Structure 1
Amino acid sequence: MGIKFVVSDCEGPITVNDNAFELAEHFIEDGKKFFQIVSHYDDILADEIKRPGYNAGSTLKLILPFLKAYGATNPEMEKFSQENVLLVPGARATLGLLQFIMPTYIVSTSYEPYIRALCNLTNFAFNQCYCTSLDLDKHPLNSAEQEKLKQLRLSIVENPDFNNLERIFWEELPKMEIYSLVEEVKPVGGEAKKEAVLDIIDKRDFQASDLMYVGDSITDVQPLSFARENGGIALSFNGNEFAL
């Protein structure tokens, strides 16, 4: 029957950004190291331990209280994202051509402000995107919890031991009021990306074999496998070990 629709991840196939990493580096003290530790922890939970109910890409919810503790707001996240979109060479033309040829979608773990910035830059339709919605400003953070989060960040950076991270993310954070932010955000990664693909198939009356999925990371494993196992095309674009 051939390919009838394309679904692509954003960061990797379309842009060279890691928006969440860049936000952490910009807002959080020693944010580069902090993000790398939490991201590695996320890989362990999703790929090695395979914790039930845990999706790859949940780094994006775990870091949110820390971003807020260091002053990130909705407008500042949007401004930073708009100013820092970096396209893969040829991506703008490719997206334009794909949209002309067949239905094309972006399914990304990235935060919504970043995906909106990408759509504005490339004239891609935002209603053809699935991404991680959030509202930092909806959740108040008192000074005591702000200071506690800064202490926890220091503990993560100085002692990235797995048991310490387990204690912080599943014992310490859930006791805090700001944890409502973590509970509210549902990153579109792993199984959630596959669910987005299924939603597209259902709404457009496609078949699984009509799909070409393009991805590059651990958050794309499930939709890549779904495409391959159902007669579609699974394309790893500059893929890491998980996608490959």
Structure 2
Amino acid sequence: MTGNVICFDLEGPLSPQDNAYEVMGLFDNGHKIFEVISRYDDLLTLEGRKNYEPGDTLALIVPFLIYHEISERDILRVSERARITDGSGFLISRLEQLGWVPYIISTSYQQHAYNVGEQIGIPPERIYCTFFPLDEFREEIGELGTSLIEDLERDILKKLYPNINDDNRIKERLDRFYYRDIVGTELEDVMRRVVVIGGQRKVDATLRIAKKVKTSLSELIVVGDSITDYKMLKEVKVEKGISIVFNGNKYAIPYSNVGLAATDIRFLLIIISAYMRGGRSTVMDTVKTWENSYDEFVKDPEKIPDDVIPEDLKNFLLTKVRDPEFFPPHFHYLE
């Protein structure tokens, strides 16, 4: 093994930007269309639709990106505006100093994933993301079938978006487009080639990483926050590894064994420090200590025992705890 391994989801833990949502915002009503497609993604995931994985939204929006002539440069331009989660660069640098090998496993298009990775110090060879040669796809598509897309956009904006909680209506209309209208077309072929790294494909990525570094899932730490991560979090948890949900939602929390709510991700080093001292059991003991003593620790960080926080993090917490905009780290034991 080349070192301890930690795998991060990107959108959420490392950067709050929903890149695909922002890219869709480059054309009129794109955000509204994305919200409906995203709801459809949730519905197909919860239904367990065959050959569908959470996060395949990034394939479903391809017809709209091509129709509105969005380019790879546009995706990168939007990515360049992305904020990096506070503490991300510090965390990655410190992890590598401690001998850890950080990876990114993300649904994000490669243009966004590689850009964020470069900013925080994770090279492309350690990023598993959605390969997306959009410019090549646009050149390949001959007759796009613009009337089908125009009709769908009109229905989304006039019928679906105003009734976004009408799940049956959303499924019926979008099923018609994706599973009937474009079947056998060049557009369907292009969409099938967009392999979004979400759901089971994130599990597959963790398995490839584990094989690459000659370890098992029980020795991995994974960090996620949403429905695209739940299978990865669940698999690592079942295998007795460490599954951390960072500022997570209801789709991810049940499948993790550690929860961390914070505005600064450097506090993840508390978990790393505990793991290096005594493995999984020490991590769980540390999390329970933080959960049970949260009020005391936040009131007076000086009283936090040295064995449950690295010294530099304690000093950082002391400088930030009185800041009204600062949200102290809140750990949750989720076993």
Match of 2:248 in 1: 239
- CA distance in 2 between counterparts of 1:231 and 1:109 reads 24
What is the deviation of 1:52?
1.8
- Whole-Å Cα distance in 1 between the matches of residues 157 and 93 of structure 2? 42
Post-superposition offset of 1:172: 1.3
Q: Given the alignment, which residue of 84, 88, 91 partners 1:91?
A: 88
- The whole-number CA distance in structure 1 between the counterparts of 2:144 and 2:4 is 53
The higher radius of gyration belongs to 2
- Counterpart code for 2:151: Q
SS at match of 1:7: strand
Distance 1:130 1:46 in 2: 21
Deviations 1:172-201 (Å, cap 9, x if unpaired)?
A: 122432222201110000000000000001
- The amino acid that maps onto 2:11 is E
Q: Which residue of 2 aligns with 1:165?
A: 174
Higher relative contact order (CA 8 A, sep 6+): 1
The equivalent residue for 2:33 is: 34
SS of residue paired to 1:178: helix
Q: Describe the SS at the equivalent of 1:26.
A: coil
Retained in 1: the 8 A contact 2:103–2:122? no
Q: Is the 8 A contact 2:63 2:187 kept in 1?
A: yes
2:183 alignment partner, SS class:
helix
**Counterpart in 2 of 1:229?**
238
User: CA separation in 1, counterparts of 2:136 and 2:228?
Assistant: 27
Report deviation, 1:147.
Answer: 4.3
Instruction: Give me the whole-angstrom Cα distance separating, in 2, the residues matched to 1:157 and 1:167.
Output: 16
Which residue of 174, 178, 203 maps to 2:187? Answer: 178
The answer on whether the counterparts of 1:66 and 1:150 sit within 8 Å (CA) in structure 2 is no
Secondary structure of 1:209's match?
helix
Aligned to 1:65: 63
Aligned pair partner of 1:100 in 97, 103, 116? 97
The TM-score, its normalising length taken from structure 2, stands at: 0.68
Which AA in structure 1 matches 2:41?
D
- Maintained 8 Å contact 1:69/1:141: no
Cα deviation, residue 16, structure 1 = 0.6
Listed as ranges, the gaps of 5+ residues in structure 2 are 161-168, 254-335
Are residues 38 and 65 of structure 1, via their aligned partners in 2, closer, same or farther at CA, if it must alter by over 3 Å?
A: same
Contact 1:10 1:108 survives alignment (8 Å):
yes
- Contact (CA 8 Å) 2:222, 2:243: kept in 1 or not? yes
1:109 counterpart SS class = strand
Q: State the one-letter code of the partner of 1:40.
A: R
Kept after mapping to 2: 8 A contact 1:65/1:181: no
Moved more, 226-235 or 192-201: 226-235
Question: Which amino acid is the alignment partner of residue 10 of structure 1?
Answer: L
TM-score (norm 1): 0.92
Who is 1:154 aligned against? 154
* Displacement of 1:143: 6.0
- Counterpart-to-counterpart distance in 2, 1:78 and 1:186: 19
SS of corresponding position for 1:55: coil
From 118, 124, 133, the counterpart of 1:120:
118
Q: Judging changes above 3 Å, is the alpha-carbon distance between structure 1 residues 99 and 178 closer, same or farther for their aligned structure 2 residues?
A: same
Amino acid at match of 1:187: V
Deviation at residue 238 of structure 1 after TM alignment: 0.6
Q: Percent identity?
A: 30
Say whether the 8 Å CA contact 2:225–2:247 is kept in structure 1. yes
* Structural RMSD (CA): 1.6
User: How far is 1:151 from its partner?
Assistant: 2.5
Distance across 1 between alignment mates of 2:150 and 2:142:
13
Following superposition of structure 1 onto structure 2, how do residues 7-26 of structure 1 map, counting pairs within 5 Å? 7-26=7-26
Matched residue type, 2:108: S
Structure 1 counterpart of 2:88, which letter?
Answer: A
Shift of 1:74: 1.9
Which residue in 2 is equivalent to 1:210?
219
Q: 1:123, 1:6 → 2: CA distance?
A: 14
Counterparts of 1:15 and 1:123, CA distance in 2: 13
SS of residue paired to 2:103: strand
AA in 2 matched with 1:56: P
Give the ranges of 4+ consecutive aligned residues of structure 1 lying more than 3 Å apart after TM superposition.
Answer: 140-144
> Which secondary structure does the structure 1 equivalent of 2:91 belong to?
helix
What number of residue pairs does the alignment pair up? 239
